[in-house]
């Protein structure tokens, strides 16, 4: 059963969103597990085209009317070309699963589990680079292009995902899963829709990080404004500032940086949110972003208003 969005404006209907579309053919790895089953239901209910699942040893079963295969290669042969794989296997098996998907020819892998060893992530990154593939995560809730498709577990179930996220001109990228949804929900409440919402993942090294997502939004016809939820630690926000400074990103960016109160050297749950020396600190990120013209807000609650003002100044509709 495919959910047809009620309101599709002409432009939104034609353009492909940055990473996924209703027509994208999606595989679920680990489809027979606790999360795999529940989120396959979410994705299907929302309108994502889930065509196959993989759990080694469980080939021949069905989950939510999706056929299960023993390997990605077998799934590809039986179900036809696959665009995207969403991975729900235990952390210690993620590397093997992601390499399998990429080797089979899948060009986008969404890695939901957390606690994936960092060297495993580096291996996936290197192999993806060689094969021309990309990945989101690990430790990601996933992403959603409102009215088209959801990948991962963002929204939890289709009903809430439909309520919280609406199509529109704002691209959202965030290092916090919960805040990805929160920001998007507050935008929706203010009558501002979203083009694509990406949770890049909470870890120290992730596949597509803020700069890669922001660069994609720059190329995306639907996106007119970018909202970024940054955090202390890593170089992601600084690299977004570099893109703006070099003129590679010209769309307006609104940012919030979390972790103002965090102590240096102590990690507050996200593995990526640790300040090493002065590098990656809250103050240094805010300063760097402001220097290139990013509107950095002090409170999440200010985002919808700032976004509305910027959109109004550019003209055009918000939904």
Partner 1 sequence: MARIYEYQSKNLLKKGGVPTPQGEVASTPEEARAVAERIGRPVVIKMQVWVTGRAGLGGIQFADSPEEAEAKARELLGKKVKNFVVDRILVEEKLDIEAEYFAGLVIDDAQKCPLLVFSSVGGTGIEEIARTHPEKITKMPVDILAGLREYQVRNLIRKTGITGKPLVQLSSLLTRFYKVAHAYDARSAEMNPLVLTRDGKIYAADCHFTVDDYAVFRHPDLGIEVAREFDRPPTELEKIAYQVEEKDHRGTFYFLQMIDEVSPQDLAIGFNGAGGGGSMMSMDAVLGRGFKLANYCDTSGNPAAAKVYRAAKIILSQPHIKGYFASGSGVASQEQYHSARGLVKAFYEEQLEIPGVIRLGGNFEEKAIEILGTYLKGIPGEVEGYGRDDSPEFCARRMEELIHAGESLGHRVRSIEVLSPPAERYSFEILTGNLFIDQDKCRDCQSKGCVEACTAGILAIEDGRAALAISREDAKRGKCTECLACEIFCKFHEQDAIFIHLPIPGLKEYRDSLINGLDPASDLGKDR
Active site residues: 270
Q: Write out the DSSP string of 55-91.
A: -TT-TT-EETTEEEESSHHHHHHHH----EEEE-S-G
Q: How far apart are CA 274 and CA 265, in angstroms?
A: 6
The yes or no reply on residue 126 touching partner 1 (CB under 8 A) is yes
- Which residues lie below 8 Å from residue 16, measured CB to CB, with a gap of 6+? none
Minimum separation from the CB atom of position 257 to partner 1 (A): 10
**C-alpha distances in angstroms, 149 versus 40, 48, 165, 221?**
12, 5, 11, 17
The yes or no reply on residue 44 touching partner 1 (CB under 8 A) is no
Q: How far apart are CA 266 and CA 56, in angstroms?
A: 39
The yes or no reply on residue 262 touching partner 1 (CB under 8 A) is yes
The yes or no reply on residue 277 touching partner 1 (CB under 8 A) is yes
Are residues 239 and 215 in contact, defined by beta-carbon separation less than 8 angstroms? Answer: no
Q: How far apart are CA 121 and CA 143, in angstroms?
A: 19
* 156 SS3 class: coil
The yes or no reply on residue 253 touching partner 1 (CB under 8 A) is no
The yes or no reply on residue 265 touching partner 1 (CB under 8 A) is yes
Structure tokens at 203: 């870890």
Could you give the string, one character per residue 73-102, with x where binding to partner 1 holds by CB under 8 A and - elsewhere?
Answer: -----------------xxx----------
The yes or no reply on residue 273 touching partner 1 (CB under 8 A) is yes
**Which H or E run contains 182?**
helix 177-189
The yes or no reply on residue 250 touching partner 1 (CB under 8 A) is no
The yes or no reply on residue 173 touching partner 1 (CB under 8 A) is no
Dihedral of alpha carbons 132, 79, 196, 282, sign: negative
Stretch that binds partner 1, among 19-27, 78-86, 103-111, 198-206 (CB under 8 A): 198-206
Are residues 17 and 148 in contact, defined by beta-carbon separation less than 8 angstroms? Answer: yes
Find the angle CA(170)-CA(28)-CA(90) to the nearest 5 degrees. 100
Are residues 177 and 245 in contact, defined by beta-carbon separation less than 8 angstroms? Answer: no
Structure tokens at 131: 């094969």
Q: Which is nearer to partner 1, 73 or 302 (CB)?
A: 302
The yes or no reply on residue 222 touching partner 1 (CB under 8 A) is no
The yes or no reply on residue 267 touching partner 1 (CB under 8 A) is yes
Minimum separation from the CB atom of position 160 to partner 1 (A): 5
Q: Which is nearer to partner 1, 179 or 308 (CB)?
A: 179
The yes or no reply on residue 266 touching partner 1 (CB under 8 A) is yes
Which residues in the 24-43 window bind partner 1 by CB under 8 A? Answer: 34-35
Stretch that binds partner 1, among 24-32, 44-52, 246-254, 261-269 (CB under 8 A): 261-269
Strands 142-145 and 149-152: antiparallel
Stretch that binds partner 1, among 7-15, 111-119, 214-222, 244-252 (CB under 8 A): 111-119
Q: Which of 182, 215, 297, 308 lies at the binding interface for partner 1 (CB under 8 A)?
A: 182
Which residues of this chain interact with partner 1, rule CB under 8 A?
34-35, 90-92, 114-123, 125-127, 130, 141, 153-157, 160, 164, 174-179, 181-182, 184-185, 202, 204-205, 209, 229, 231, 234-236, 239, 258-262, 265-274, 277, 300-301
């Amino acid at each position: 059963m495919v959910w047809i969005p009620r309101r599709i404006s002409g432009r939104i209907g034609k353009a492909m969103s940055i990473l996924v579309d209703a027509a994208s053919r999606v595989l679920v790895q680990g489809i027979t597990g606790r999360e795999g089953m529940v989120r396959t239901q979410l994705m299907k209910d929302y309108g994502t085209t889930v065509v196959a699942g993989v759990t080694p040893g469980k080939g021949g079963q069905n989950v939510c009317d999706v056929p299960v295969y023993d390997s990605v290669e077998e799934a590809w042969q039986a179900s036809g070309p696959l665009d995207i794989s969403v991975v729900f296997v235990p952390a210690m098996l993620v590397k093997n699963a992601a390499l399998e998907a990429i080797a089979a020819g899948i060009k986008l892998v969404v890695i939901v589990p957390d606690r994936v060893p960092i060297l495993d992530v580096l291996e996936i990154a290197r192999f993806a680079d060689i094969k021309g593939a990309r990945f989101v995560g690990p430790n990601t809730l996933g992403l959603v292009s409102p009215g088209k498709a959801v990948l991962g577990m963002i929204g939890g179930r289709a009903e809430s995902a439909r309520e919280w996220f609406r199509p529109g001109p704002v691209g959202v990228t965030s290092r916090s899963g919960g805040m990805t949804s929160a920001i998007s929900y507050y935008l929706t409440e203010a009558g501002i829709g979203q083009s694509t919402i990406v949770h890049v993942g909470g870890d120290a090294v992730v596949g597509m990080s803020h700069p890669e997502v922001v660069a994609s939004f720059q190329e995306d016809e639907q996106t007119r404004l970018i909202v970024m939820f940054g955090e202390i630690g890593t170089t992601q926000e600084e690299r977004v500032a570099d893109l703006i400074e070099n003129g590679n990103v010209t769309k307006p960016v609104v940012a919030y940086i979390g972790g103002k109160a965090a102590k240096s050297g102590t990690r507050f749950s996200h593995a990526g949110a640790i300040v090493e020396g002065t590098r990656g600190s809250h103050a240094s990120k805010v300063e760097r972003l402001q220097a290139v013209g990013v509107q950095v807000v002090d409170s999440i609650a200010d985002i919808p208003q700032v976004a509305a003002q910027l959109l109004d100044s550019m003209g055009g509709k918000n939904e």
